[in-house]
Amino acid sequence: MAIVGRACLLLALAVIAYGIGASLYGARARRPEWVASGRRAVFALAGLLTVAMGVLEIAFLRSDFHFDLVASHSSTTTPTFYKAAAMWSSQEGSLLLWVWLLSLWSSLVLWVTRGRLREVVPYATSVLLGLAGFFVGLLVFATTSPFQTSAQAPADGAGLNPLLRHPSMMIHPPMLYSGYTLFTIPLAFALGALIVRRVDSEWIRATRRFALAAWLLLGIGILLGARWSYAELGWGGYWGWDPVENASLMPWLTGTAFLHSAMIQEKRGMLRTWNVSLVLASGTLAILGTFLVRSGVLDSIHAFGASTLGVPFVILIALLIAASVGLVVSRRRALASSAQIDSLCSREAIFLLNNLVLVGLCFVVFWGTFFPLISEALTGSRASVGPPWFDRYTVPLALVLVLLSGIGPLVAWRRATVSNALRNLRAPLILAGVAVAVLVVAGVSGSATALAMFGFAAFVVAAMAQEFVRGTRARRALAAEPPMRALVSLVRRNRRRYGGYLVHVGMAVLFVGVAGSSAFQHARDVRLNVGQTATVGRYQVRYVGATAQVARDPAHTGAVLDLGAQLQVSRDGHPVATLSPSRGYYPSQDPAQGSVGSLIGGDPVSHVGMRAGLGRDIWSAITPDISSLAPLIDRANRVVPFVRPDLGLIALGAIAGRYLRQPPPATFRLIDSPLVTWIWFGGIIVFLGGLVALWPAPALARRPVLAPARARLARQPSRA
């Protein structure tokens, strides 16, 4: 099977070379049959990479430890679910996943655009094949092959990293990579349009859904990662401004800007240079995010570590930047537009301001992320910035962004007047003011920034609700439909607009969660003995007793020792919840730790104890003080020079028994965090809104909308 996988990669390189040559020759010689052949090369590439993916997945599912990748990332006891996900837990497997997804999306866009953009498609095809060739080339020449095998297979594999044993592992990486690879679709078509000077709105219309899908899937991936971090890792947060986290956020921000400014170009023919620059930036930033995960140039808990892939990625990014800048500058006259913004109160002016804020946010994130490299280049020593620095600059911009997301849909295109805008804004502003007043009366205070965000979010929700109500009324007046049917028909016929409104509502709800959990969170690290109580926020947390469990690890070789605690949470003397945080200790391969010590010498994994609610979450994590167990482990190391699996379980059972009989003190991280659930709820609304906007509009008949109204008019007596 490994031979089949390697052959697919080599054939893929040949197909890529042929496809690029055929596409470019067909474009230059005006030979459409060669262009079509180049397009078919993309389909063939997708087929070859699908076979390669299938070979590797089958090897994981069958626990074929002749494959080095399988032996190092899976085991016989790993559940099938995690075996399937283990393929992309490695550097090589994730690269294969990346280029496979790229080939699938490339095939889809070339199928959708067949017969359109005849001049642009050959060059876009060449760009997409070139990017695919880069990643396949890395798999063949620059890194260990995912299909490398050993003649002597081990009896069992090392197993999946315990930190990756979460259901999100099946969804989170494919979502992120889908977002990254989808952003290369508009990048390729923008480069093709620049090359042939077809810089009208046609390439935007052809790739807009792919840009929206990229934005949506990347956003889902980001949110899944945040949820994974919050619910499973032991630090209590959902966003830490880690370089790899930031790398996924940057193309999402520029992609958001493009989705808004593209409407201005489609409506008014404006901002051509700006739009093509945003698309090129989004695609390049997607490649940059992939680079940060694999190069090791910046410290990140999400990165694969130092590797030799940094230089090829730097060359690719430099080529993309040079080509993008060169083409935009050389085509500046073709990109120029005679249309101008007629009013600062118009929708296009608000959208442009929205774009500037989004690009400003992206620049802040970029500067903070790469500041260690910038400072090293300027001063010779690395310095980094932390979350407070990011918060200082991103929070004001986020406030402006939320406010603009409510204003933009309420003002008209072109020559909007201040009086008309204020008339549309009056009701949402009043409702937002009432919401803030109610919060203040209810005792919500201490953070003017959070109150402002709550008010702006209420304004956005009210503004979008107003638009839904107005549209439904207009629909009822035209079609004489019941309210609910009119609403459904309205959304079906205007999916892009009303899906976008839902996205705005979801983002407002999400920002309420971020503001509330950031401004009003109470966190405490406290060391407790059994029976002691600590206060966090409005809750009292009592360490009731220790818990311990020894079990075979289903996703890893050996066994796991799980040491934890039972916590009783109360408020004003009334029990609220029982939390059970724990910490899992896994085997290590370090013989210096001794036969028994190595059973728990691996990297520990926190298991969070949490009660989530719509209003607030009570969150806990534990770090037991296992130093008191060291004498017992040392004696066991001397008595038992090596450990069989059955003796290992007995030894771990003895350690667990000692922990239960004489529970040592433990350090707890306790957090009272309000409104975190609103983040996930807002994300769901964003997802639904994105689906509505992405879903193809139905073929509209010309009759249904106006026919009932015309019939009513026909029945009225003539006034002549």
Same structural domain for residues 142 and 3? yes
Same structural domain for residues 485 and 615? no
As a whole number of angstroms, the distance between CA 579 and CA 567 comes to 5
Distance from the Cα of residue 592 to its chain's centroid: 40
pLDDT average, residue stretch 705-709:
47
Same structural domain for residues 5 and 153? yes
Average pLDDT of the chain is 90
What DSSP assignment string belongs to 383-425?
Answer: ----HHHHHHHHHHHHHHHHHHHHHGGGS-SSS--HHHHHHHH
Same structural domain for residues 468 and 539? no
Query: Residue 505: which H helix or E strand, with range?
Result: helix 495-519
User: Between the CA of residue 271 and those of 191, 347, 361, what are the distances in Å?
Assistant: 16, 14, 20
Read off the pLDDT of residues 326-340 as tens digits, 9 standing for 90 and up: 999 999 999 988 778
Same structural domain for residues 37 and 153? yes
| Last-in-domain residue among 518, 551, 576 | 518
H helices present in 480-494, as ranges: 483-493
Question: What are the two backbone dihedrals, phi and then psi, of residue 651, each rounded to the nearest 5 degrees?
Answer: -65, -45
Please check the confidence at residue 701 and state whether its pLDDT lies above 50: no
The percent of residues in the chain predicted with pLDDT above 90, rounded, is 68
Domain assignment present for residue 5? The answer is: yes
Read off the pLDDT of residues 143-156 as tens digits, 9 standing for 90 and up: 778 999 988 888 88
pLDDT average, residue stretch 504-512:
97
| Last-in-domain residue among 128, 144, 162 | 162
Same structural domain for residues 512 and 528? no
Read off the pLDDT of residues 545-604 as tens digits, 9 standing for 90 and up: 999 998 776 555 567 899 999 999 999 989 999 999 999 988 877 777 777 777 787 788
Same structural domain for residues 115 and 29? yes
| Last-in-domain residue among 472, 494, 518 | 518
Same structural domain for residues 426 and 574? no
Domain assignment present for residue 227? The answer is: no
Domain count for the chain, please give it: 3
User: Between the CA of residue 82 and those of 73, 96, 408, 429, 589, what are the distances in Å?
Assistant: 10, 18, 45, 50, 22
User: Between the CA of residue 458 and those of 400, 431, 504, 516, 688, what are the distances in Å?
Assistant: 14, 7, 11, 14, 20
Same structural domain for residues 540 and 487? no
Q: What is the pLDDT of residue 77?
A: 82
Domain assignment present for residue 709? The answer is: no
Domain assignment present for residue 376? The answer is: no
Read off the pLDDT of residues 101-132 as tens digits, 9 standing for 90 and up: 999 999 999 999 998 999 999 999 999 999 99
Q: What is the pLDDT of residue 704?
A: 47
Q: What is the pLDDT of residue 457?
A: 97
Residue 710: partners with Cβ closer than 8 Å, 6 or more residues away: none
Same structural domain for residues 145 and 54? yes
Same structural domain for residues 478 and 626? no
**Confidence band, pLDDT 50/70/90 cuts, at residue 645:** low
As a whole number of angstroms, the distance between CA 562 and CA 557 comes to 15
**Confidence band, pLDDT 50/70/90 cuts, at residue 703:** very low
Read off the pLDDT of residues 340-390 as tens digits, 9 standing for 90 and up: 887 788 888 999 999 999 999 999 999 999 999 999 888 888 888 999 999
As a whole number of angstroms, the distance between CA 334 and CA 273 comes to 9
Q: Higher confidence at residue 627 or residue 59?
A: 59
Domain containing residue 428 = 417-518
pLDDT average, residue stretch 457-471:
96
For residue 102, how many C-alpha atoms fall within 13 Å in the half-sphere facing its CB? 30
As a whole number of angstroms, the distance between CA 270 and CA 661 comes to 74
Domain assignment present for residue 296? The answer is: no
Q: Is the dihedral of CA 420, 424, 427, 433 positive or negative?
A: negative
Domain assignment present for residue 610? The answer is: yes
Domain assignment present for residue 465? The answer is: yes
Read off the pLDDT of residues 313-325 as tens digits, 9 standing for 90 and up: 999 999 999 999 9
As a whole number of angstroms, the distance between CA 254 and CA 257 comes to 5
Domain assignment present for residue 693? The answer is: no
pTM value is: 0.92
Same structural domain for residues 526 and 514? no
